[in-house]
Amino acid sequence: MGTILTESKIDKTARLGADVKKAAKRAEKGLNGWKASVSANLEDGKIAAERLLKRGRYALEDGIEETAHQIKRNPLGSVAVAFAAGAAMALLVPHLGKNNHKTNRSA
């Protein structure tokens, strides 16, 4: 009777080992599929980022060319806009600096 129990335990252990091997193969297949999916998504993201970078560069180049064209077309207006922008910065920057010094002294 002891040998029957032992054989039954051996059979259960063998079946359990086979089940573990099957589960490991399924997990490996799933992991390989996940890895391929992640790789594909990363490649798609890389391509999209490269395209976005190219479009941004082209837009910047077009903006620079358009600005140069507008300056050539209307030089006095361009100087007036540049002067106004500089004057606005001159008025704003000292006030920002004063506020920073006050907070730094009290700290």
Query: Where are the chain's structural domains?
Result: 75-107
pTM, two decimal places: 0.48
Non-local (6+) Cβ contacts of 78 within 8 A are 70, 71
- Give the total residue count for the chain: 107
The sign of the CA dihedral 91, 94, 96, 98 is negative
Q: Which pLDDT belongs to residue 56? A: 97
List pLDDT tens digits, range 74-104: 999 999 999 999 999 998 887 776 665 555 5
List pLDDT tens digits, range 9-55: 778 888 888 888 888 888 888 888 888 889 999 999 999 999 999 99
Q: Which pLDDT belongs to residue 97? A: 64
Beta-sheet strands, E only, within 46-90: none
3/9 Cα distance (integer angstroms): 10
